[in-house]
A and B are shown apart, each in its own frame.
Chain A
Amino acid sequence: MSLTSRSRLSILDKPLSRGKGEVSLSCFALLFSEVVQYCQNKSQTVPELQNKLHELGRKVGIKLIDLYFVREKNGKREIKLLNILLFVKSTLWKALFGREADKLEHSNDDENTYYLMEKDPLVNKFISVPRDKSSLNCAVFIAGIIEAVLTGTGFTAKVTAHWHKGTTYMVKFDDVVVARDKQLEER
């Protein structure tokens, strides 16, 4: 076996591809259905199941940060709170689901809390939750993705999904993050 001197193009030398753009919805729905069943077999209670799905969402989210910052934002980092939330609401949502999230709101009572709303999350499209598990919302998977993206870009937060006006993702930032953001605005 001889080592060739001809340089082969490795994947790191090629420019970043634009990606597939569209994947079959049925394929994803069946895969996600299996994911939910797998998590259900491993857990005994609804909160446990939600935690497992959230965890899986986080693992996906971590990998998305670099990819979408390079593809969509040309590698430029976000340092302001509002900007990263808008990035999640429009750019990330468009890349993942093909449309923007419906609404982004700031909570009236708590300064650290923001609400991201969506009427019909893609992952819930074919899922009918049975009566005995009515508190389960499989969109906690998406909440995990959002949490990983926010935490990975330096805005530590906790994201949970709730059944409210469709599906609402409650984003609660750490006090440190909000204080830092205020400082930036004052400058």
Chain B
Amino acid sequence: MVIYGIYIVSKSGGLIFNYDNNVPKIENERKFSYPLDIKLQVENKKIVVEFGQRDGINVGHVLYSVNGIPITGCQMDDGQDAMQFLQNKENYPVTLKFGRPKMTTNEKIFLASMFYPLFAIASQLSPEPKSSGIEVLEADTFRLNCFQTLTGVKIMVVSDPQQTGIELFLKRIYEIYADYALKNPFYSLEMPIRCELFDNNLKSMLEQIEKSGIANI
């Protein structure tokens, strides 16, 4: 019963706040022998799995270390180029560690802004009149709840599919936003939220949920 992350999108569609909590690290380390049956490719200055999904290593995973030596970009920390190393037959058998790439802030902004038009389309496509936008998006491994406030600010929470009481949690986040962001004279609307009191209160609420469950806040 975990809450993975909180995202707040402003009225104009930009991401103004995001907080990652308990993101599970997905990493797989495996031994490989020559020839490599996974096809790797350099993409965006990182070595990415292109073909040959197996054993938990999926397409899109990034190569993190070779024989225990971590890799930054395409280069191993001991100075060798990783792709060259892997092409050389003598270096095998080799232990490679792959993992799911971490989202950069830019990617988060991009994805959150993509949610905003989807939300609007959903409310227009709906056969029932006067529908709200997307409220719950459920997948195998997570659930995304979205709460739209009266002013168009969308508060989204990504959590475990079995987590209950998220509606109450969303309302509490709204209260914290109204208190520590909107009453702060140094916060301008639609801008990213950089208020200490807001962060502190949100973190303490998350800790309280972890300790005693959502019903108690």
Question: Measuring CB to CB, which residues of chain A are less than 8 angstroms from any residue of chain B?
Answer: 26, 29-30, 32-37, 40, 126-130, 133, 138
Contacts of B186 in A (CB 8 A): 127-130, 133
Q: How large is the interface on B (under 10, 10 to 19, 20 to 34, 35 or more residues)?
A: 10 to 19
B residues 181-217 in Cβ contact with A at 8 Å:
182-187, 194-198
The interface of chain B, by Cβ under 8 A from chain A, is: 179-180, 182-187, 194-198
Whole-angstrom distance between the Cβ of B101 and the nearest chain A Cβ: 31
Q: Which residues of chain A come closer than 8 Å to B179, judged between CB atoms?
A: 26, 29, 126
| A interface majority secondary structure | helix
CB < 8 Å: which of A33, A37, A128, A138 contacts B196?
A128
A127 B194 Cβ-Cβ under 8 A = no
Interface of chain B: mostly helix, strand, loop or mixed = loop
Contact A126 B194 (CB under 8 A): no
What are the residues of chain B within 8 A of A26 when measuring CB–CB?
A: 179, 183
CB distance from A139 to the nearest CB of B (A): 14
Interface centre among B186, B187, B195, B197 (most CB of A within 10 A): B186
A-B pairs with beta carbons under 8 A, tally: 38
A40, B185: Cβ atoms under 8 Å?
yes
* Shortest distance from the beta carbon of A41 to any chain B beta carbon, whole Å: 11
CB-defined A-B contacts under 8 Å, sample of 8: A26-B179, A32-B185, A33-B184, A37-B185, A126-B183, A127-B186, A127-B197, A128-B184
How far in angstroms is the closest Cβ of chain A from B167?
23
A33 contacts B183, C-beta separation under 8 Å: yes
What is the distance, in angstroms, from A71's C-beta to the closest C-beta of chain B? 29
Q: Knowing that A30-B183, A34-B185, A126-B197 touch, tell me 13 more A-B residue pairs with CB under 8 angstroms.
A: A26-B183, A30-B182, A35-B185, A36-B185, A37-B185, A127-B183, A127-B185, A127-B186, A128-B186, A128-B195, A128-B197, A130-B194, A138-B185
CA–CA, A40 and B185, complex, Å: 9
> Is B183 a contact partner of A29 (Cβ separation < 8 A)?
yes
Please measure, in the bound complex, the distance between the C-alpha atom of A29 and the C-alpha atom of B179, giving whole angstroms. 9
Q: Which of B185, B195, B197, B198 lies at the interface centre, i.e. has the most chain A CB atoms within 10 A of its CB?
A: B185
